Amino acid sequence: MALEEKKNADIETEHAEHVNESEVGAIDKADFVPSIEEAAASKAAWLISVTVSLGGFLFGYDTGYISSVLVTIGTSLGHKLSSSEQELVTSLTSGGALVGAVGAGLTADRFGRKMPIWAACVVFIVGTTLQTAAYSVAQFAVGRFVVGLGVGSAAMVVPLYIGELAPAKYRGRMVAFNNMSVTFGQLVASALGAAFATVPGESWRATVGIGALPAVLLGGLLFWCPESPRQLVSHGRNEEADKVLLRLYPTSSEQQRRDKMATIASSCEEATENSLSNESLATSFARIFTNGQTGRAVLTACVVMAISQLGGFNTLMYYSATLFSIVGFDNATAVAITVSGTNFVFSILNLVLVDKFGRRRLLTVTVLGMSICMLIAAVSFSYIPINLSTLEVESTQIGWPGTLVLVTIICYVGFFSTGVATIAWIGTELMPIEARALGTMLNTVVCWSTNIIISSTFLSMMKGITPSGAFGFYCGICFVGWLFILFFYPDVKGMPLETIREVFAHGFGLKFSKQWQREHKHERKAVEVAFGH
């Protein structure tokens, strides 16, 4: 008995020494957080995320100012815009963003994450200039499309870049900060649009032109930002990757950084085995969907993104001033600021909650809330007398239905911004490294293609199936999305990117992710004890 106890004690001592000597390198990466993830993240990690989040501000500013511009542009382009022309100039940015996202996705692995962001800054400045100087619908439309190229490129690459740079325990919040920048850009654009609306003349040009300033600032600050460590390791630039990791984790040891790079390199080697470097683009896409594990990850991210767009939020961003004028508010542009303000405030709430409560829990609550709000709005519109041919309210009194529409829209925006608005972009974390760039590109393509559908059909739907029918349609989309989240969306909060790939090896991974989350707390404490943190 004494001999057996001594043997067991020796085994425990050997195990403890093994953990201390190899730190995290010997820990099963599918079950344990790598040791460097437990090191303190530097302020530089946050500053870099804040800097590149200017790309999100560009996205938000563009979607925010068009609402007020459509109301105040008048005959500046030669004549008053018809509803079809309003839909055209609005949706063209989404079309450009679709093309820009594809271009960024095809170049992000070859040229790195920073180059597409620089390109986005350049084309955004060009597109803004074209719009500001436009005196015809054609030139304004071209400018909108060119701006879209930059918006799509930034919207695709910035969350990908932040997700690869961020420590696992802060990844959700750092990507959420990019979305908060989107909402802040929308708020600033709405506020400036309302302010310039009171200035006589063609003041809308100032609202549009100011949008070039953040692009200039981002282009300059990007020189200070490093390339993604995963991108550097995948191209064999380990010394540079080590410097970046030291910059992100200044308290990390050399061994911890080596272990992290080894984990990344192993993931890259696995990616190489799963794909051929000289294969065609079509083959690469086919490989994503013929591999069940990868296909489920990409599908999950894309469905959540589709919910965020088809659920109707961007009708409020693009047409909020128009919508509130339809309902009967006199100063519709000023009232529309309420939507942008609500969006911004609740994006801050998401920043606080997303890593604490996880993605799945937030989505389950908020998407159902979105569906209920759209249902109430649909019922409220049935009590508002609206001329369907002109979309003008046939009453001088707003009344309780108009007030209820405003309240439910504010509640809807709160639910949207707290949940799916940010989590749809965090979806890049679900994808394995061999499919991350193309998968993120697909995710962004889904964003802008569904955005085109919404922006180019909203006014037509309001006329064709009535406002109640349009908002009832959005209600149905949100409810179907809620069912998908309930049955298929796993929670991967706190997981290193190299670990998340294991989730979708088990179907959609709901049980696997729950089990990992339960075990993770205990194992994380064990690692902290082992390293003295």
Domain-located, residue 149: yes
pLDDT at residue 302, rounded to an integer? 92
pLDDT at residue 145, rounded to an integer? 94
Q: Identify the domain containing residue 356 by its residue range.
A: 35-225+287-531
Residue 229 and residue 110: Cα distance in Å, rounded?
Answer: 14
Domains contained in the chain, number: 1
Give the DSSP per-residue string, 320-372. Answer: HHHHHHHHT-SSHHHHHHHHHHHHHHHHHHHHHHHHHH-HHHHHHHHHHHHHH
Domain-located, residue 442: yes
Domain-located, residue 23: no
pLDDT at residue 395, rounded to an integer? 67
Give the DSSP per-residue string, 476-517. Answer: HHHHHHHHHHHHH----TT--HHHHTTGGGSTT-HHHHHHHH
pLDDT along the chain (533 residues), means of 10: 44 40 38 57 82 88 82 86 85 86 78 86 93 92 92 84 80 80 87 82 88 91 88 85 86 84 78 55 75 88 92 76 67 71 87 84 95 93 78 69 84 92 84 77 84 82 87 94 94 78 83 81 45 33
pLDDT at residue 351, rounded to an integer? 81
Domain-located, residue 200: yes
pLDDT at residue 122, rounded to an integer? 93
Give the DSSP per-residue string, 232-279. Answer: HHHTT-HHHHHHHHHHH-TT--HHHHHHHHHHHHHHHHHHHHHS-TT-
Domain-located, residue 5: no
pTM assigned to the model = 0.68
Domain-located, residue 436: yes
Domain-located, residue 171: yes
> Reduced to 3 DSSP states, what percent helix, strand and coil does the chain have, rounded to the nearest 5?
80, 0, 20
Domain-located, residue 19: no
Q: What is the CATH number of the domain that holds 65?
A: 1.20.1250.20
Residue 194 and residue 177: Cα distance in Å, rounded?
Answer: 25
Q: Helix 359-381 vs helix 399-418: angle between axes, to the nearest 10 degrees?
A: 160
164 SS3 class = helix
